[in-house]
Structure 1
Amino acid sequence: MGRPIQRLSTTEVIRAKSEAPTLHADGGGLYLRTCGNSKSFLFRYARNGKTHDIGLGPFPEIDLATARERAFEFRKMLARGVDPFQNRATIVPRTDAPLPIPAILTAPKGKTFADAYRGYLEGHDKDWSRVHWRQWTTSLQRFAMPSLGAMPVAEITTADVAECLRPIWKSKAETASRVRGRIEQCLDYAKAMGWRTGENAAAWKGNLDHVLGNGRKTVEHHESVPVEAIPGFYARSRKLNTTTARALQLLTLTATRTGDVRGADWAEINLQKKLWTISAARMKGGREHVVPLSDAAIKLLKSMSPATSGLVFVGERNGGMIGANQLNKLMATLDVNGAVPHGLRASFRSWCAENEIPRELAEMCLAHEVGNVVERSYQKSSLVEQRRAIMQRWADYCAG
């Protein structure tokens, strides 16, 4: 009698978690792999005396039904005598690493973009949080690898990068911008390794900006909470004992973006130094942002059972990142007349103006670029201590 398949339920997948890397069998070679807050599916099979694991993708981006369909296709390949290992772009080796580097089949001639991608990742495997690693690899696996992965990295042109990005440039503008920046970093790595020469084909200014254009919709002005209403709004949010409410409170205190807070990882936060360092790859502008944490922010974080890594705000339903819509819905219940979470940044900026905070410091608190290229090249310091004083004053104002 064969082993049963489809043993897992969607509820079991959502609830599954483990401290150490653990495999949960669904049957037919399909497994759910858990480690901390991360979850992904893989297909395991044996051929010629060797065991192979093929990564199917992270959950919830890949749901249980999709993972089963992919595993079924691999079983059909095996039945026909075809080795799935040789017909799959993303191979996850058996490892206990928190998030393994996807191995990608490369073209036989020279170094490929896939080689540059892997090399760049290997240099950052200890620097990045689990969430950041998953976001970085998932975006490139989905949007860059299908067209660029097997190309000789020395031959990739601006036209190739533009062709890769064009399908999502307008429909997924934010994602496309991040993917472009990550491709640029991989090509920089390739140049440093001597695998290619010349200008970076994924550079924006004076290059892709002429080919793709802005691609973004008209700037949307988010409704903000009036400065005078901030203390009352913040007090109402503190009465709610939910993960989403605490995320909204940190968003208010730090004036960061919703995506920064939703993806916040304990590995980014230094409670002793009162700093939250958001990596360049997670930032909208592609530059690292150091957030000085006020006493209120530190108190909030310490009340949440700090860990060394993993999401700070874990979704109460799916065990992953909380949804942006959850923040929107919560804020709508707090009597803010249509204001949205992102509008809290505008509230902070208005408060800065009313309190005569120097424009440059206020913009730096919001992770905006300050000055022209020459001025920024001379401004090496992120002025953390000056910004710390501002964020403490803002937190004191929020607390009433």
Structure 2
Amino acid sequence: MARAPSKAEKAKSQTEPGRYGLGDGLYLQITPSGTKSYIYRYKVHGRSRHMGLGSVKDMDLTEARKRAAKARLLVRDGIDPVAEKEAQKQAARQQRERTKTFAECAAVVIAKKTKVAKNAKHIAQWGSTLETYVYPVFGSQPVGTITKHDVLAVLTPIWDDKHETASRIRGRIEAVLDYAKAMGYREGDNPAEWKGNLQPILGSSDKLQRHQPSLPYVGLPLFMADLRKRDGTAALALEFAILCAARSGEVLGATWDEIDLAKKLWVIPATRMKAKREHEVPLTDAAVAVLKAAPRLTDVPYVFPATRGGKLSDMALSMLIRRMNGDEPKFVDGSTGDPIVPHGFRSTFREWAGNETKHGREVIEHALAHSLLNKVEASYHRSTLLPKRIKLMEDWAVYCARKLISESKIVSINQHIDVKTA
């Protein structure tokens, strides 16, 4: 005797629109267009409801029964499966929103401004400044986690030397974070806000002579030992800047035609100097070694080129120091405790030379390319100080390479450095 077809088999054979029971609240639904799907019908809190489980094309009956069984357990506990599914979707949506990066939000803000912009150059500057200065620091960071410390990490290194650019970048960061808050991607105050927030820290005038966070010279050998373990062009550029007591902009803009390895001399043209006067930098053996280790790219004139050619950015050096410092900075300013910045090493050099050597003030100031107050003195020494500066820079190179017996030996009456083990 032939076996009678089961309820499921009868339902699967149907072609007419309607709902066909498969048992325990599970149904096969056929729409007027012929589409077949599984649904689960239930009652919760006195209301009759149903939820879609999926298309027949995407799952078999066994899978449909498993999904219906899960929903049935929720109903038994007084939970509406449809409401629970929507809550899970909402939670997933909120999670995605919390992981929106600063760069993603910035792209939306720039796109909106592009639609209404009258000045295409201005909008292009938005993108270029964010890519150069901001994205390397926190472009890939969830926008909801960005703090004032992150914003300062971008602005502090360029606030004095590139004040106008830095001021505009601050405003652009603020606008992006305002958008993120409006969209619900972040909460709380805007860490890039100026008045009462960044203003007391940065100061409003680019003419203010602000102290750049600098490393006490007693801790320099430890820093140099760590730096020389690092690979990459940025590490070479920073080491060269320290050995030459040069500004980072002078080093990053250095070209091979300014370097005379035979004479061990680097001649920086007046057009690239802050004082608009040509500056000769004697090169120690340590500095020459750095130059010989620097990569030479075809058709790229820069001594320290970026990976894709062109000039390495200021931010590359700042980010290198930030990586060396880690989450709990150990290379900090002796007075303020602030993390050090590349430009601060000139102060480190000045303090070391003044406190620990017998080199004359005019020799030290000339090594830093500072203008002497006495113009007659400056004119006389311009051509006579190079031999003395060679000796000064050789002493500096020896100090930079000084081997430490132990970190506990790094002490100073007038200075302090955090020397926690990295």
TM-score normalized with structure 1 length: 0.45
Name which one, 1 or 2, has greater alpha-carbon Rg: 2
TM-score of the superposed pair, with normalisation by structure 2: 0.43
Higher helix share: 2
